[in-house]
Amino acid sequence: NFEMPQGLTDGQAPFEHNNAVGSDGLTAQAVTVWMRCGGHVMPNACTLKRWTGWTASQGSATQYVALFRVRLSDGSDTDPSAVLLKEVSYSASGNQTADAFNVTVDQSMNAGDIVFSAMKGAGTAIYLNSTFEVEF
């Protein structure tokens, strides 16, 4: 399962990703779960252009990090699903070894969209630090 950040009420949030959102990352969640996941709210409509960062994981298994967005609706309590923006798979180089990624995304975003990371892998800890570039 993909795991998104723990709710910000957790002492290890937003760095600990252990909120399961399904094998494809698209399992619907309550509005308040999305609000607490520590994602980034887009202040204006824009185009997400690039996602870049670092990962590390134990062993040499294939691991996955992904960027998603969720769109809430004003005045609605319907449990929305996320949309996959970009998934990156890589073969881990072993713990304490950095693996870089830098990928083009090219996805339109609405003002108010929440963008968040999620990851899944072969049962080992995955570390991620990333940023994304937008064009207004």
At residue 7, the pLDDT reads 66
At residue 122, the pLDDT reads 81
At residue 121, the pLDDT reads 87
Q: List C-alpha distances in Å: 54 to 3, 22, 43, 50, 76.
A: 17, 23, 25, 14, 36
Q: Running along the chain, 136 residues long, what does each successive block of 10 average in pLDDT?
A: 72 70 94 89 98 92 95 95 96 91 97 94 84 96
d(CA 17, CA 45): 27
At residue 12, the pLDDT reads 64
- Beta strands (DSSP E) in the chain are 3-5, 17-20, 40-41, 46-57, 62-70, 83-91, 99-109, 114-120, 126-135
At residue 134, the pLDDT reads 97
- CB under 8 Å to 101, separation ≥6 — which residues? 51, 52, 53, 54, 55, 65, 88, 90, 130
